[in-house]
Structure 1
Amino acid sequence: MTRLLAFILAGVATPALSATTERLSVVRNGETIGSVVAVSDGRRVSVDYRVDDNGRGPKHREDIVLGPDGIPVSWNIVGTSLMGGPVVERFAWANGTATWTSQADQGSLSAAKPPLYVVNDTSPWANGIYARAALAAGGRSLDVLPGGKLKLARIRSTTIAGVSVTVYRLDGVDLRPSYVMLDKTGRLFAAFGDASVTIRAGLETRAADLMKLAASLESDRVRAISAKVAHRYDGPIRIRNVHIFDPVTGRRGPLSTIVVMRDAISAVLPGDGGPVPDGETAIEGDGGTVYPGLHDMHSHTTIDSGLFYLAAGVTTTRDMGNNNAFLQALLPAVEDGAISSPRIVPTGFIEGRSPYSARNGFVVATLDEGLKAVRWYADRNYFQIKLYNSMNPDLVKPLAEEAKRLGMGVTGHVPAFDSPDRVIRDGYNTIAHINQLMLGWVLDESKEDTRTPLRLTAMTRTPALDLSSGPVRNTIALMKANTVSLDTTAVTLERLMLSRARQVETADIDNLDHLPIGYQRYRKRTFVPLRNAGDDQAYHAAFDKMLDVMRLLHRNGIQLLPGTDDTTGFTLQREVELYTMAGMTPAEALKAATLDCETYLGRADRGGTIARGKLADLVLVAGDPSSNINAIKRPKMVMRGGTVYLPSEIYESLGIRPFASPPTIVPARPDLTNGGVGGSTGALFGWPRDDHDD
């Protein structure tokens, strides 16, 4: 390590005899989707970072000047972000003062030496800089600008393609950690996470190995957290003094007691249920409300997304497309409890082959390839298939027919050059994303290409849309006649259209200041290109029109499925809140996110209500969400199949300031009538964990 640090510092301090170029490729699902090209000349580094995945991706240039200790004294970034929004970010340290400006913020700070600045519009190359800076500081945590601490952990050393590398994990500034690989000279070899790998050019075929390594490392981390936060009990659990929300009646009942044994509800009793019998663990509800677990019907599962979801009261997700090998490996770990997660309902992703293809699931060019993909998913008991942007419209019908023949449903985007009406006739059960539906009324599907960011930017045409027009009425009639639902993801549209630089968007007001500084800054940005004030007004008007469409669909009996296209849990809470802004009562919105989802999934006999024999998937909050939907944003306790989770514990383990205190939990007394059986095999909040069942 001493030799490595000496090499790093010497390399930074001594001007190079000539410029050095380093090239890396960004690989996702086996295909190259971007690049990093860094040219170093002494202390100056120019980085070109480009990603083109599914018609979108960041594209920017970084110009960096490194100080003698490897920490940048100047860092300028110019380009565009994920959906084409402008990026102009600058940091500089000179004469004892650090200054910065970004989409999210601006500021200055007196500093005797250059502090480590964490960029808002980041890149894999930036992660390499952070790792080297932390190593130069002795491998300890570093205070960083504009706030927070960066923590470096050495994970392991290995050899990839004959190169000796060391893997490091970076924690502390974002919702999730980052991983980097440095070679013996301290140069960046790879950076990776759950979806893609950035690796030295020429070694792209090794990206799959790094994906497996990333999955293993994150699995180890998440398994360790899961072991601490999942509380399991041998005997019955009594949840006392709670009001139960019933989605069927839409009412919050009188004080009751819920008894849970293993994974199911064994009794619902009036009042406090009387004295707690020996051998039973008691959870004091203090007059709060218990409702069935929430559903995110448009998720893309990651190894740690389950922790975020459970902390937010989400006990079921519908995975709408993933790396197939990853998901197949994850599902057994979720079912045996090693990975804390909601129940996952898998949907099989099938994309058409084009320059704009998304790199998930299967990417197919022919009908035969598509049919093989459908059968692969059917053999593995997937709930549905999902068709995507680049799918040939002529293949939709035969693929849908095959899926239904094999017992699966069909959902997806409206493919480019197709229309909502046609995909409904061709066999869709559900359309994914409200913009995919609305754009069918404002685009010329024969000419305009929705494989590009047009599928978002064209929403500016919707404010003038007449919802009583023939095209709108025809589509709604088709949806009703074919019992077609809409997976709304309204919160994602809200974020993309209304997020603005240096502003806290309305959707984030209730939670953003609890989250790590890196995520806070990420949320304070403009995602869409804004040429003038008219564009800004058009996006706000489009958001209002989106709510009008949701209101119209609900009035016409079209099922709306709450989904997010996100994995933080907070966004699902906001999605349900948006349902109330679109005209539903809080009780109706709760029903849409609980019982209605279970009905859609064909599981209403097992879940969706609090009743004897139903699965113990439920949430405890202090307030009354049937009158104030905002109450769902502060869960005190979440139960998934009888396993108790305390959101405060989960959030603390993830570096998030908790939103609510946990309920009082009284351990079971030995049940002397049953030979002393009773008590907990899991840790209790505030009690020693040395009896935990790992």
Structure 2
Amino acid sequence: MSVTTKPIWASLVLAAALAACSQPTETGPTGADAGSGTAISESAPEAGRFTILVGGTEIGALEILPSEDGYAVEYEYRNNGRGPTITESIALDEAGLPVDWTISGASTFGNPIDESYAYVDSEARWQDATGSDQALPEGDAFYVPQDASPYWLAIAARALMARDDMTIPALPGGELRLTAIDQLTVSNGEASRDVTTYALSGTSENPTYFLMDDRAFFGLITPGFAILEAGYEGEDERLRALAAGYGASRFSEIQARVAHDYDGPVRIRNVRVFDPQTLSLGEPVSVVVEGEHITAIDTLDVATQAGETEIDGAGGSLIPGLFEMHAHMGETSAFLNIAAGVTSVRDMGNNNAVLDELIGRIEAGEVAGPRVHRSGFIEGRSPFSSNNGILVASEEEAVAAVETYAASGDFIQVKVYNSMNPDWVPAVIEAAHANGLRVAGHVPAFTNANSMIAAGYDEMTHINQIMLGWVLEEGEDTRSLLRLTALRRLPALDLNSEAVQATIAAMAANGTAVDPTYAIHEALLLSRNGEVSPGVVDYIDNMPVDTQRGARSAWADIATPEDDANYRGAFDQITETLRMMREAGIFIVPGTDLGGSFAYHRELELYQNIGMTPAEIIAWGGHGMAEYLGVDDELGTIAPGMLADFFLVPGDPTVDFRELKTIALVSANGVFYYPTEIYPEFGIQPFTDLPAISQPR
């Protein structure tokens, strides 16, 4: 699918002309000890257009026009009916450091972008979605933009190449580090050239991998997404595989440092085990693990045996591993879910080859990660398609996709997405059920939840997908951001109306479950520029700078007080709808669509709003989901013979759910992890101390 951006060259030429007529720019911040005053050497010729691809499909473009003192940039793409639109004007000093930078447009979910940075008279000033701030750098510093195009990576790289240690303090905080990784030859089919891959790190959880031809930008690469110089799109698959390899090496090295696969049995002494049947913590005991299984639960008077590693639980709570039921797994979320006590996930759609590779590496012990229960993603072909899983253009292709997933033996269900023709859904459901697969999904465009329930959906995905059917006009297209922005109509909805009650009754009668993704709706509807989003308050101060800035930014375009009130009211309506669904006996499935880990804790915590107690939530998020997935004979309970998936928290989360967020230890299949060791690998400050560990005697 190709998305054509609007013509931009006229506006870019005008911007360049205006820049050429301007006064010389202010010299950037320079310290007495900085060796970076040397001007950057002449760059290799740099392309003006770059193609943006997801899984090999073109979805947009990055366009760059040099000016006398910097660059004008246009950046736009659309995937799954959404994406950013960004215009930039950048002025640099002789050392290649930004001294004037303006960024405008809209973010992926529509929040207006009005960002700026200026360095004048030794003072740096900036404004972004979080507000405005300033600093007096003692030496050189590089402003890291919040909402710029990826071209800022090239600007940073050129500035860092001029520094001996290739590091520089970052604004608003942190430090940028540039690392050269590899050199390779790329070809457009007619000519070849040499490029270098780099990693830029220091202000976010992970390095960003990109390519330069000398000092000219060539592209950005991830396992699923790439931006490449126009004409070199044929290198997409190879370069994305290269990015996957870089990530694999990084995460394998982290695994070697933080995974503890102890020789012999492990005794976790003095813990209170949570029982999901009684919804309570037991008396202090010792839990013994050997290999992948729990082998004993002993009273405290049983001594530690020869050959056992002993971990002091210090009277804390031992909780069965949690299940994140709406994941889209990647290596970072795999690690961070383990650190959060999420030892199983249900993946709701992915690049199948990338996920195959990740699961293989988790199962081989090369990287940390939860057990993965897979959904086969099926999407209709359209200009709004989400480019994942299998895309289909006919009912026959849709049924064939079901057969493909069933034949692999790796999938528990299929997931239907927005661009699927609703007329094909009954055939998809029939084929899935005939092959022993469940069916979950969005409501395809131009139909409603009632039709999908009647067709035989086993589970509805996202609460907004259900509620939109109560407020949309006929013909409105939910393949766009409308499926999110139309939620501001919800406050005017009477939840006792016949339409609402009919849908709830149909779900209850048909046994249709719901995966509401409560936390992502909170983030969408309640995040505001300059305010910490309510879902991240308990952990945001421990996160990297970039994550902290994102947590203080709105998702949606909240343009007026009326918008603000309507979005807040929409969240209240969602909460009340979930309360009514629970009372009607509809099974609710907790999942985030936000990567899980910290967000999954918030997802669970929110269900206190509909009357669930902390103990009920903990039992439901672990044992309840194990039952739902049919794996409760091995998971969801801490008892001899069960798989050793559990985590330790110092306090009592059955009294105060927030205690669940401070995890000291996680066992995933009998391999032990300490979040205090994991979090610094991702730039996160730990929340707890290491437990006392005694090696075998």
Q: CA offset at residue 439 of structure 1?
A: 1.3
CA deviations 1:420-477 (Å, max 9, x no partner) are 1111121211111111121122223x31111111111111111232222222222222
Measured after TM superposition, the shift of residue 6 of structure 1 is: 12
**Which deviates more from structure 2 when the two are superposed, residues 633-642 or residues 456-465?**
456-465
Distance 1:117 1:318 in 2: 38
1:605 maps to which of 620, 627, 633: 633
Partner of 1:651: 679
Equivalent of residue 249 in structure 2, options 204, 220, 227:
220
Q: Provide, for residues 325-372 of structure 1, a one-character-per-residue CA deviation record: whole Å limited to 9, x for no partner.
A: 111122111111111101111111111111111111111111122122
1:27 has 2:53 as partner: yes
**1:426 aligned to which of 455, 460, 464:** 455
Q: Is contact 1:300–1:320 with CA below 8 Å preserved after alignment?
A: yes
Q: Does 2:194 correspond to 1:168?
A: no
Quick one: which of 429, 434, 442 aligns to 1:400? Answer: 429
Cα 1:265–1:466 shift into 2, 3 Å: same
CA–CA distance in structure 1, aligned partners of residues 626 and 500 of structure 2 = 28
Equivalent residue for 1:677?
none
1:9 aligns with 2:37: no
Deviations 1:568-627 (A, max 9, x none): 511001001001122111111112211111111111111111111111110100111111
Work out the CA distance in 2 between the residues paired with 1:377 and 1:7: 58
The match for 1:52 is 78
- Alpha-carbon offset, residue 193 of structure 1: 2.2
Question: Which amino acid is 2:250 matched to?
Answer: R
TM-score, normalization: structure 1? 0.92
In structure 1, which of residues 88, 93, 109 is the aligned counterpart of residue 135 of structure 2? 109
Quick check: 427-436 or 461-470, which moved more? 461-470
Show CA shifts across 1:370-410 (max 9, x none).
12221221122211111101010011110111111111111
Residue by residue, what CA displacement relative to the aligned partner does 1:644-667 show, whole Å, maximum 9, x if unpaired?
000000001111100111211111
Q: Which residue of 2 aligns with 1:126?
A: 152
Which region of structure 1 is more displaced relative to structure 2, 326-335 or 74-83? Answer: 326-335
CA distance in 2, matches of 1:603, 1:471: 36
Q: Where do 5+ consecutive residues of structure 1 fail to align?
A: 670-694
Shift of 1:309: 0.6
- C-alpha distance in 2, partners of 1:493/1:640? 30
Q: Partner of 2:22 in structure 1?
A: none
Alignment of 1:33-432 (within 5 A): 33-111=59-137, 115-161=141-187, 162-184=192-214, 186-270=215-299, 272-380=300-408, 381-432=410-461
The more displaced of 168-177 and 133-142 is: 133-142
Letter matched to residue 436 of structure 2: G
Structure 2 runs not aligned, ≥5 long: 1-35
* Corresponding letter in the other structure for 1:628: D
Aligned residue identity for 1:9: I
Offset of 1:20 from its aligned partner?
Answer: 7.2
State how far apart, in whole Å, the 1-side matches of 2:483 and 2:423 are.
20
Q: Check 1:114–1:224 CA distance in 2 against 1; reply closer, same or farther (3 A cut).
A: closer
1:540 aligns with 2:568: yes
Q: Which moved more, 1:127-136 or 1:448-457?
A: 127-136
User: C-alpha distance in 2, partners of 1:568/1:225?
Assistant: 20
Match of 1:479 among 504, 507, 516: 507
The secondary structure found in structure 1 opposite 2:82 is coil
Q: Aligned partners of 1:324, 1:267: CA distance in 2, in Å?
A: 39
Q: Distance in 1 between matches of 2:540 and 2:161?
A: 30
Distance in 1 of aligned mates of 2:159 and 2:330: 29
- 2:550 maps to 522
CA offset digits 1:27-85 (Å, max 9, x no partner): 00111111100000222200000011111111010100111111111110010001111
Query: What secondary structure, in the 3-state scheme, does the structure 2 residue paired with 1:288 have?
Result: strand
CA contact (8 A) 1:294 1:316 kept: yes
Contact 1:175 1:655 in 2 (8 A): yes
- Report % sequence identity: 40
Query: Following the alignment from structure 2 to structure 1, what is the Cα–Cα distance between the partners of residues 440 and 244?
Result: 28
Q: CA deviation at 1:275?
A: 1.0
Q: Tell me, in whole angstroms, the C-alpha distance in 1 between the residues paired with 2:39 and 2:621.
A: 53
User: 2 CA distance for matches of 1:432 and 1:368?
Assistant: 24
**Partner Cα separation in structure 1 for residue 497 and residue 451 of structure 2:** 18
SS of match in other structure, 1:604 = coil
Aligned with residue 536 of structure 2, among 502, 508, 519: 508
Structure 1: which amino acid aligns with 2:542? H
Q: Equivalent residue of 2:271, what SS?
A: strand
Shift of 1:415: 0.8
In 2, distance between residues paired with 1:25 and 1:156?
A: 22
After TM superposition, give the deviation of residue 112 of structure 1 in Å. Answer: 6.6
Q: Aligned with 1:287: secondary structure?
A: strand
Distance 2:193 2:447 in 1: 48
2:658 and 2:533 map into 1 onto residues whose CA distance is 16
Cα RMSD of the aligned pairs, angstroms, is 1.7
2:621 counterpart (593, 603, 612): 593
TM norm structure 2: 0.92
3-state DSSP class of the match of 1:304?
Answer: helix
> Using the alignment, how far apart are the partners of 2:655 and 2:500 within structure 1?
32
Amino acid at match of 1:428: Y
**Secondary structure in structure 1 of the residue aligned to 2:294:** strand
Shift of 1:156: 0.7
| Structure 2 Cα separation of the partners of residues 481 and 158 of structure 1 | 60
Offset at residue 110 of structure 1 (A): 2.3
Contact 1:166 1:182 in 2 (8 A): yes
